[in-house]
Amino acid sequence: MTLESLTMVRHGESTANAALAAAIRVEAEEFDKGTRDPDVGMSARGRTQAAALHAWLATQPPPTTILSSPYRRARETAEIALHDLPLPRVRLDERLRDRDTGILHGLTALGVRRRHPAEHRERERLGRFYYRPPGGESWPDVALRLRPLLPELTGHTLIFTHDIVIVMTRYILANLTEPEILKIESTQLANASITRWERTSSGLRLTTYNDTTHLTS
């Protein structure tokens, strides 16, 4: 069966998203350091965003397949957004997990510069796309785990995942270059935003990117 449409949803605001924003405001070096990334849950605002996704999904044609990152914030978004809707059961797929930042986990940009100056210099040399922190992943590493997943998708697929996964899916499907995807990524994908591709006679076409109108309607 052919993939007819692909809808990707970024998880609602997490406690780490909120902690990072607060840390940047006060020029702190770290945020939410005591929690494993897979265990980071949603903030109260994130749960409200997921409820708005529920209202939106209730008005949409039902997907035939639903996948989610196994990370808690994505699973919680899916649970709230899909609650009581007559839809297929969510299947977890590790390939949809967030990018592993290795030894830099929980650090702000200021924290990286101060605590890991050699890594900061290496990231500046290589650029954000190809830089792989010790114990972590580069952007192409994320693309490498997505490339075998995408051909497996069929019908109308709905995915709950993370911003980098959505960005790199766009990179793969549109056959973009490093400068092209970096320019796109310079605009942050919003929490609980919707990105969608639909099948046309010439292949999958991006119809919606980083849409948040459902959060304010």
Q: Is the dihedral of CA 102, 103, 106, 107 positive or negative?
A: negative
Q: What is the pTM of this model?
A: 0.96
DSSP 8-state symbol, 127 = -
- Domains in the chain, CATH or no CATH each: 3-215 (3.40.50.1240)
Partners of 9 in the β-ladder: 160, 194
Q: CA triplet 136, 139, 144: central angle to 5 degrees?
A: 95
Beta strands in the chain (DSSP E): 3-10, 65-68, 90-92, 155-161, 194-200, 203-211
- Burial class of 186 by CB neighbour count within 10 A (0 to 12, 13 to 18, 19+): exposed
Give me the DSSP letters along 63-81. Answer: PSEEEE-SSHHHHHHHHHH
**Distance between alpha carbon 95 and the CA centroid of its chain, in Å?**
12
In tens digits, the chain (217 residues) has pLDDT values of 799 999 999 999 999 999 999 999 999 999 977 889 999 999 999 999 999 999 999 999 999 999 999 999 999 999 999 999 999 999 999 999 999 999 999 999 999 999 999 999 999 999 999 999 999 999 999 999 999 999 999 999 999 999 999 999 999 999 999 999 999 999 999 999 999 999 998 889 999 999 999 999 7
Rounded Cα distance between 130 and 122, Å, is 10
